[in-house]
Structure 1
């Protein structure tokens, strides 16, 4: 009976399911099917002949490697900085955009803050490298105007992580604010009208109506972000990294790329990648159950 009901629903809404098909196909090819290859983490890869089962060998080497521990520390630090300093920005931005009453100006602001998301990291890296150039970059020209010495941000170990965080905010804050704006749009206007009649200010309406209505969306997005905690951004780091700062920005993804693709240590790289995936799964499940217990809201 349930199967028949499901088939009728699919037949009725076939256009919606057809729109989902490309996404399902993408995730199946690039995310689900590759899981079969994770068994390589427990084998010694052989180009010719069958792979040899070695159990936990590669994980023991992985956890005893000082290089891996440095990479793990960099990943945790950079991911923590991005969550702490980036996560609130789209929420604040969505609240600010929602307060704009001029429709044309609001659309202009939205277009401006959404635009960087559509640029590739190669283009973004080029823009920021030029902007941070120690001789004629815009930032250092501004520093010189205020009689501050020029600084090469791209080779400074003390500043490069902050560059990556602000770069992520510039690129993604506007796009991520769409999720929260959608949550705000679902709020009934009658709630705001009642609040105005009771004499509530705009700030009070935001505090007692808008923010509580956004809570479930905020919790869901936060849990999903924690699921990608160990993914500190390969494309961004790969394009911004150089030999001067590699010791502080080399993350798990770039480490896996280097030892797997460049050095050909496929089994070892698979073990590192599997470790990252397991940690992400544990984080998203634990955060979901904690949020469910204390707020009654989770991913499902």
Structure 2
């Protein structure tokens, strides 16, 4: 197969591992920066031009679209779809997962447990918003935040009111969530490929840090998920139509609670924590589903 990995940086661990595993299985692989692609829209002949050639020979695409380039990156993925090229995740699915509010609404309707969440249109009654999620402490998240950025723990009611008023003054869209104390600064990441969990780790925030993101100094170890946790991860993947994704959840007294679903999950942390070849699982998923 001729495989294209849409990534802005060929040197990233995840991109490099996907290239390595694809080549190990005899495929031809290119890493292409989606921002350097020209989308050519023509009647019955959608094409993509990259540097000095048309990408009309591609059999499958693995999108590694960063949040900052979601709009154009998804436009490139969509163009490949119009050309009949198989992609591990569709442009619509990426867009759906990047909209935290829309994805939480969709997941809630599917009966998936999650921390109580409130979204409001710059409400002046911030005290009422805080009360809706059970009072302080609360988690306040920017709708556009990634890797723990734009996430604030407000430990007191006064602190929560101050943060909300500041965000409202900046007209920054936020959601307010209940704080799950019993999680103790840890969360679970399940890596789903073809609708099945192929690896899972428990991430623990460094001392004094409520965010468990590895980018922020957290640690990770392999974990065996419970039946309820496995079910949540697979249901979330299906609900957002993301056959390849990372599902983040918290362990709580009322069972697993979903935090978010990542359409471009990093492979470094989970491969090192679990010792599992996740990149190979993604390539074999391509082989099973591509028409090439």
Structure with greater contact order relative to length (CA < 8 Å, sep ≥ 6):
1
Higher-helix-fraction structure: 1
For Structure 1 versus Structure 2, the TM-score category normalised by the shorter chain is: under 0.3
TM-score normalised by length of structure 2:
0.26
TM-score normalised by length of structure 1:
0.25
Higher-strand-fraction structure: 2
